[in-house]
């Protein structure tokens, strides 16, 4: 993350979900979480943030965009 922030300068660093996203969330380096929700149930799969063990609270969504069969959400991470 330090290298990504150095290279980004004043721009935004984005991290995908999954194990890496979970590690960065657990380290307290995430300011917001963005999700796209679609009406599909797979029945199995991977957890959105990998195996995060601690509780991380999100604020109420500050952006909610209804698309065609998709819901775009943006949450600030509660500190």
Whether the predicted pLDDT of 18 surpasses 80: yes
Q: What is the pLDDT of residues 30-71, one digit of tens each?
A: 999 999 999 888 888 778 888 788 888 999 999 999 999 999
CA dist 58 and 26 (Å) reads: 13
Q: Global pTM?
A: 0.79
> Is there a contact between 77 and 35 (Cβ–Cβ < 8 Å)?
no
What per-residue confidence (pLDDT) applies to 64?
Answer: 96
DSSP 3-17: HHHHHHTTSPP---S
């Amino acid at each position: 993350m330090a290298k990504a922030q150095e290279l980004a300068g004043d721009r935004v660093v984005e991290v995908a979900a999954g194990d890496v996203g979970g590690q960065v969330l657990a380290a307290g380096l995430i300011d917001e979480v963005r999700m796209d929700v679609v009406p599909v149930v797979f029945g199995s799969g991977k957890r959105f943030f990998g195996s995060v063990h601690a509780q991380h609270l999100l604020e109420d969504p500050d952006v909610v965009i209804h698309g065609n069969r998709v819901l775009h959400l943006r949450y600030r991470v509660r500190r």
